[in-house]
Amino acid sequence: MKQAELSFEPPRPRALTVTEAVRAAGRALEARFADIWIEGEISNCKRHSSGHLYFSLKDPQSQLPCVMFRIEASRLRFTPEDGLKVRCRGQLTIYQQQGKFQMYVTAMEPAGLGALQLALEQLKRKLAAEGLFDPARKRPLPRRPRTIGVVTSATGAAVRDIIRVLHRRAAVRVVLAPTLVQGPDAPLRIVRALALLEAHVAPDVIILGRGGGTAEDLSAFNDEQVVRAVARARVAVISAVGHEADVTLCDFAADVRAPTPSAAAELAVPVDAELREALGGLRLRLARALRRVVEAERHAFERLMARLQPRHAIRQRRQALDELSARLRTLHPRARLARDRAALDKLRAQMERRVHVILAARRHGLETQMGKLDALSPLRVLDRGYSIATRADGHAVRDAVEVAPGDPLAVRLARGRLSCVVKSRDEKS
């Protein structure tokens, strides 16, 4: 019988399922790279309807798929976009359903440029592309505003500076729409203040501003809602945010930018004296232009009359010309100055007469009061033969019991004094 040959095969290892293999690799990867920073350039950036952000980080040799879930993405202060170089913090893992190597991103920051500055630059490009900063849409300031609207804090130094300068330069109505100027609630409050001011006051021009501060303090004036509210205002807006070196997006959207709140007030209203000077110059130019017209008409008339010689028409035209010349003289600044000087002299004379009457009445009243005081004076009593006796301590003696025999007394008469000694006293009246 042939002995059967024995064979010994090694046991076959247990095969992992795909899921087990991917899961094991993922766990190993997550344990090894649980919290890392990776820097790269964003590409294929897409935001899902759920709010999750899907993109890739790349460098010249490799790409890494990334996912940033809605909660983390909502905390970003800038908008991720293709071509932007960023630093991402998160965990390396494997997406089990596709076996895809990827990164769960929990935080992101720009590489180099700060998040706030980047967000500001992105918003500035967006609004500029919409035409909100276009110089062609900016309106000139009114030459003679009657009502000035002010949107700023009611307690800051800016509002005091604005009101002081406005009232110093001209008699205008100032309406304050108080608002927060910094903090998370400030943008909505500023937009509401602008709307209320236009709806209930209808100012001729609006000053929007605050005092200086850090970039974070001024961030409300870089808010998209505030910038759009400034751009859609129905009247001209002067932006006066911070100091001269501070620049916000409201400065670009406003019709005029002022370096400080005080400078905004100076731009809003011209000085009355400057207006009067400008008006005088306009009046002088008008008079000169009218004189040239009259002279041209005179020469034309004379040339016409030299050809036609109609006597009646000549008289009519000459009379009309004389009337025009008389009107021209009344419009001349010197004539107006003479009328104003005459009115001022008349007013001065009236005031002098009124002051004279008042002084005379005051003088009469003073003399009457002095007469009454003089009648009540103790010296008048002395003139009628009475005297005043005083002790050595200066106390006036009114009763005999106040002195004793031998006490010295000083007696004042209407004219002169006496030194006496009490010999006796009678206490009976």
> So what's the pLDDT on residue 179?
94
Angle formed by the axes of helices 261-268 and 157-169, to 10°? Answer: 30
> So what's the pLDDT on residue 246?
81
Structure tokens given for 111? 């590489």
Residues 403-426: pLDDT tens digits? 888 889 888 887 888 889 888 887
Sequence-distant (6+) residues with CB within 8 A of 323 are none
> So what's the pLDDT on residue 230?
94
Taking Cα atoms as reference points, which of 75, 77, 86 lies closest to residue 45? 86
| pLDDT, mean of residues 177-189 | 93
> So what's the pLDDT on residue 311?
61
Taking Cα atoms as reference points, which of 254, 192, 183 lies closest to residue 220? 183
Taking Cα atoms as reference points, which of 257, 254, 256 lies closest to residue 246? 257
| pLDDT, mean of residues 158-172 | 89
Give the pLDDT band (50/70/90) at residue 319: confident
Query: Would the pLDDT of 147 be above 70?
Result: yes
Taking Cα atoms as reference points, which of 409, 416, 362 lies closest to residue 390? 409
Query: Would the pLDDT of 64 be above 90?
Result: yes
CB atoms within 10 A of CB 22: 18
Q: Please answer whether residues 245 and 146 qualify as being in contact, where contact means their C-beta atoms are separated by less than 8 angstroms.
A: no
Sequence-distant (6+) residues with CB within 8 A of 106 are 68, 72, 89, 90, 91
Query: Would the pLDDT of 23 be above 80?
Result: yes
| DSSP assignment of 266-282 | HHHS--HHHHHHHHHHH
3-state secondary structure of 246: coil
3-state secondary structure of 390: strand
Taking Cα atoms as reference points, which of 147, 270, 151, 255 lies closest to residue 203? 147
What region does 13 belong to: left with phi over 0, alpha with psi -120 to 50, or beta? beta
Vertex 324 angle, CA 323 and 327, to 5°: 90
Residues 196-242: pLDDT tens digits? 999 999 899 999 999 888 877 888 999 999 999 999 999 999 999 98
Least confident of 10-14, 328-332, 349-353: 328-332
| pLDDT, mean of residues 42-63 | 91
CA dist., res. 347 & res. 253, Å (int): 51
Q: Please answer whether residues 178 and 154 qualify as being in contact, where contact means their C-beta atoms are separated by less than 8 angstroms.
A: yes
> So what's the pLDDT on residue 113?
59
Give the pLDDT band (50/70/90) at residue 13: confident
Vertex 54 angle, CA 49 and 56, to 5°: 160
> So what's the pLDDT on residue 345?
83
- Residue 329 vs residues 71, 294, 322, 332, 359: alpha-carbon distances, Å: 81, 12, 11, 5, 43
CA dist., res. 222 & res. 211, Å (int): 15
For a pLDDT cut of 70, what percent of the chain falls above it? 90
CA dist., res. 54 & res. 63, Å (int): 13
CA dist., res. 258 & res. 249, Å (int): 13
